[in-house]
Amino acid sequence: MARHAVFSSGAKLWRSLACAKSELRLDLTLACGQTFRWRETSEGHWTGVMGGRVWTLTQTEDTLWYYVYTNHAGGKNKPEKTDSLRIDEEEAQSVPPTPDPKVEAEMLRDYFQLHVKLGDLYREWGAADCHFKEIADIFTGVRMLRQDPTECLFSFICTSNNHISRIQGMVERLCQALGTRLCQLDQTSYHDFPTLSSLADSDVEERLRDLGFGYRARFLQQSAKQILDTHGLRWLDGLRNVLYLEARDALRTLPGVGTKVADCVCLMALDKSEAVPVDTHVWQIAKRDYKFTADNRQKTLTEKVHRDIGDFFRKLWGPYAGWAHSVLFCSDLKKFQNLRGDTSLTQSKKEEEREGESKKVKIKRELDGHEKKRKPKAERRKKAKISVKTEEV
């Protein structure tokens, strides 16, 4: 049976890419909640599915090492159930992985967006924001992935009212139930992310409910169906070519996709580096570390708070605000607190300040205050027929 590749016992089977740890930290980038598809299969080794292939990644100080698995699950590599005719046109998309070092290196460069010089950005953010500077030296190399739009969207529909560990399990079950099987390594089988048409099948809601998806099961199936019925297979990918706010509004017409999820997909899959996903957690960060106070002490995360916090961070960090946000987000995750040294002390000091609730510094924000009025979701549906030029391939 095939095993997970380990660098120390077969280094010559691996390929490499020059990439400093300051530009990319696999552990932080792959486990900070932007993707739910990678696992640390042995120390420092991360295994997952990307671009229809199974990879194991590891890194040394100046090098990113990768191993691509070629052995398929032989014969029965279809999803458990396929009763859709539309499958065929999609299968053309998932290229059978013929090993090609050039292609694979390029896939990685694209996935990790290595053309973006993270070190330079860190310096800029640190110069503009002293709190960021405190964090930056420890949480280096937190990089935005360029994920597949379909995978990103449907993964994040699962995140509502939910926590990371459970989301990971759900996404795994989703792929297992509806995705093409790629290979098996040790006891683990790896599946591709389901296609839109397999997600749109009418029995999907019930199947996913049985798998513990709760009310999100309906959202997943309905969103897939709505995309195929009213826009088409390539629509999501096409949103990479339109402006941030247009893509965001388009996504929000889908069931189960609100402001937060739309911003996640914009940032993580649609090349909108300025998108800042605001959840309760980010709101806490804004209040605690940036003394951000909404004008009238909002109780809930309203549309206005979303916009104000997003604008605040964009003004502070600039056009890559979404990337900077992910660094702070990562640094605040419980599972990474062990990395903090001295800063955790200043951190707990800040906690105390928050308890005290004594001094509130109002931050001035210029509000353009002109947002288009929104219709109820059901009505918006048809209108979202924004024609989008699909990407030339």
Q: Which residues are catalytic?
A: 260
CA neighbor of 180 nearest in space, from 95, 69, 103, 265 = 95
Q: Which one among 281, 288, 291, 340 touches DNA, defined by CB under 7 A?
A: 281
Residue 247: CB minimum distance to DNA, A? 14
Closest to DNA by CB, 99 or 212 = 212
160 binds DNA (CB under 7 A): yes
Residue type, 119: G
Choose one: 43-51, 140-148, 276-284, 310-318; the region binding DNA (CB under 7 A).
Answer: 276-284
Contact 294, 308 (CB under 8 A): yes
Taking alpha carbons only, the member of 300, 286, 295 closest to residue 258 is: 300
Return the number of the residue (54 or 267) whose C-beta is nearest DNA: 267
What is the closest distance, in whole angstroms, from the C-beta atom of residue 119 to DNA in the complex? 24
- CA atoms of 322 and 276, how far apart (whole Å): 5
Q: Which of residues 27-56 bind DNA (CB under 7 A)?
A: 32-34
Q: Please provide the DSSP assignment of 206-250 as one string.
A: HHHHHTT-TTHHHHHHHHHHHHHHHT-TTHHHHGGGS-HHHHHHH
> Contact, 17 vs 108, CB < 8 A?
yes
Alpha-carbon torsion (292, 325, 27, 192), positive or negative: positive
159 forms part of the interface with DNA (CB under 7 A): yes
Residues ≥6 apart with Cβ < 8 Å to 378: none
Treating both helix axes as pointing N-terminal to C-terminal, what angle do 149-157 and 259-269 enclose, rounded to 10 degrees? Answer: 150
Q: Which is nearer to DNA, 364 or 373 (CB)?
A: 373
Site string for DNA, 175-204 (x = CB under 7 A): ------------------------------
- Among 26, 152, 182, 257, interactor with DNA by CB under 7 A: 257
Give the range of 81-89, 183-191, 251-259, 345-353 binding DNA by CB under 7 A: 251-259
The span from the CA of 166 to the CA of 216, in Å, is 13
Nearer to DNA, 29 or 41 (CB): 29
Q: How far is the CB of 303 from DNA (least distance, A)?
A: 5
Q: Which of 9, 98, 161, 338 binds DNA (CB under 7 A)?
A: 161
Site for DNA in 127-146 (CB under 7 A): none
Give, as ranges, the residues between 331 and 390 that touch DNA (CB under 7 A): 333, 369, 371, 373-374, 376-378
Nearer to DNA, 35 or 195 (CB): 35
Q: Does residue 231 interact with DNA by CB under 7 A?
A: no
Please report how close the Cβ of residue 261 comes to DNA at its closest, in angstroms: 3
Q: Is 255 in the site for DNA (CB under 7 A)?
A: yes
H helix or E strand, kind and range, residue 280: helix 280-290
Residue 130: its H or E element: helix 130-136
Considering the rule CB under 7 A, would residue 302 count as an interface residue with DNA?
Answer: yes
Does 226 participate in binding DNA (rule CB under 7 A)?
no
CB 231 within 8 A of CB 253: no
| Choice between 333 and 386, CB closer to DNA | 333
> What are 78-84's contacts with CB under 8 Å, separation 24+?
78/180, 78/181, 79/177, 79/178, 79/179, 79/180, 79/181, 79/191, 79/194, 79/198, 80/177, 80/178, 81/201, 81/203, 82/198, 83/201, 84/197, 84/198, 84/200, 84/201
Smallest gap from residue 223 Cβ to DNA (A): 9
Residues found near DNA in the complex (CB under 7 A): 32-34, 159-164, 166, 209, 212-216, 218, 252, 254-262, 264, 277, 279-281, 296, 298-305, 329, 333, 369, 371, 373-374, 376-378
